[in-house]
Chain A
Amino acid sequence: MLVSNTTIELIYLVATALFILALKWLSSPSTARRGVWAGELGMLIAVAGTLLHHGIVDYKWLVIALVLGSIVGVPLGLVHMTAVPQRTALSHAFGALCVTLVGTAEFYLRAPAVPPLMMLVLAMEVILGSLTFTGSLMAAGKLQEVLPQRPITYKGQNVVNLGVLAGAVGVAGYLVAHPYHTSLFPFIIGVPLLFGVLMIIPIGGADMPTVISLLNSYAGLSAAAMGFVLDSKLLIIAGALDGASGFILSVNMSKAMNRSFSNVLFGAFGQVQAAAHGTAEARPVKSASAEEAAAILAAANKVVIVPGYGMAVAQAQHKVRELYDALTKRGVDVKFGIHPVAGRMPGHMNVLLAEADIPYDRLVDMDELNPEFPQTDVVLVIGANDVTNPAARSDPSSPIYGMPILDVDKARTVMVIKRGMSPGFAGIDNPLYYLDKTLMLFGDAKQFVGAIVREFAGGGGHG
């Protein structure tokens, strides 16, 4: 039951079209699931077509590998929504592993007579693949908290990192000119593997959305390079789409953190954390109880809830949904303000809130929501800090000066659920907390929101 190469190429052509349609349909939540089906269909026909390739002589290992991969894949598809960032990082690692292994095998099949251009794309494939592999594993380890999350920085770090990368590129350049020195090939795998580790060492949790996007882009580009090596247009296109997607997300994330793109490209993350340790004198704040907070919320017409990573850590999203229901029932207009870098990966907050059954049309992007804050009665900040810090707008000495923020300080009343007065992840003091209109609600996010909900259910009634 073998089919001709032309037939396989035509199948790949259809698969390519389905892949592009898959991403096109992802533009809106109403058509997005159709996009997944298109992607699945494209994948299915491409794999089926490949299995009919006439060059394949032994199916035993193929079947074992496909079954084994599915067994590994199913639990990775069923992880809890809060674990999605580390799952994503892990899948970047798997993708990069596949590309690196194939590149390595292709090199040794062709060696020692590898034409220079072929050697060039092979080198790009394995360098990008192996640095993405260890980089993504490190990122996944930090997100899963198996590795210390604190960024580790030292003097001259960028010089060391760039030196290591330059070493790998140098060896690759030498191999392009002298491909018969096959003993050098392991270096263009080993050195980038080391670089991947070094690259992630200075990364802190707040930088993760940018880093995951960047690794996504690298994984895509390495797959595209593999497409060049194998002369597979399907793979080139899929890799280019993935690379473009990761690139757009990285640019979005770096804009949302007010970092230049070159800053992102050269991996100079984690510097803000190191720079920030300023004034931390005890200033007076106003605090309130759950009962008072419930009364203020009940009197409001327009409420905006601003969730951050703290909400995910406290697993408070389901309690937040109960609060949303209680307020909506009373006729209060409730929206959620989503900062692009809230959480640990792009879109993280949206997924968590959607999981808690909050309608997606209530989740509003920063740019769209900011003009509405002056007309907002109450803002409730849950587990977010730096993305609400007005110093980013007003204080040029602040390390986050210039970063776009949610203008929550323009609302009439601001309530902030926070464990204590310790500064946020980046170690930056937040002047928002000392405003006259701000009430601090001290406690665990889940318990505090739960207490507010109980006030509504019990004491409030219809008055």
Chain B
Amino acid sequence: MSKSTVERPVDQPGETFGGTLKRHSQHIIANWLRELALIPVIILLLIIGAFVNSSFLTVTNLLNVAQESAALGLVVVAETLILLTGKFDLSLQSTYGLAPMVGAFLIVSKEGQGLGTQWNPFVGIAIVLLVGLIVGTINGFLVIKLGFNAFILTLAMLILLAGIQVGIVSGRTIYFLPDAFTYLGAQSLLGVPVSVWVTGLIFLLAALFLRYHRVGRAIYAIGGNREAARAAGIHVDRICIGIFMVASVLAALAGLMTAGQVVAVTASQGNNLIFTVFAAAVIGGISLDGGRGRMVGALTGVILLALVTNILILSQIQTFWIDAATGLIILIALGLARVIGTNRA
């Protein structure tokens, strides 16, 4: 196959077909090990769940779990994209709360605590996404162009946006959302909630985009070695700002999903969500330093957290202890992911 032998790394003995095949499969296994590390854990959880409560392993319950974690999953996709470029966005949780709040506030009637404009609900949905886009643009511009530290800046944005969310409705909850507004979160299609379809589809698209699109690969290059990416002619700043914008729009969409599920927008929607988002991404093998990890991994992270929460609830453990138990399990999962993932890193 090769005509010269300038150098021949020791782990490449001969160029026989079998050898090539073996090497190739080794690559595949090595490359996927981190991502698939959680599969056995998820299977284990399914088994444990089945013993804890007989209603756990039923289609109804599992669909419920999926629906409840669909919005979380979307935010995880958003955060994963940003993490891969080597940046951060804590304010996604506030975008997730503020965007549907602004949209609903503008279109809902007076008795539902809105302004009572009676605009078309689709205008409301457009406003929801627009709020996401604006927030993302501001974050991206400040972090990438003006060089603010992403952690501090998005923390400030988190507090500011959450404050606006409470402020515009004086802490009240908005009810009587129009049907079009709640379709995403409340309806089902072919027996599966629309939100699950949407989140699943976006996971798939994001994964394909990262793997097969030029910009997707550029994201890995940027996160892996910013200088090298710049030297290769990649528009680092443009892509990073774009990712901030896309992520915020996804977070806004997730907020719309949740609003549809609970058929209301509360002033506290989104509180503490970001911790779970980071936990899911990191458990799923996304590196906080950027450039490493895959969407499939992030998805397994979301599934794992969702199953754990569900099992804890079904196990009738005292409500006050659920947070502690979740925290402990996240710690264990992180440790596990690290042990399995280290031979790559």
Q: Do A and B come from one complex?
A: no
Residues of A within 8 A of B (CB): none
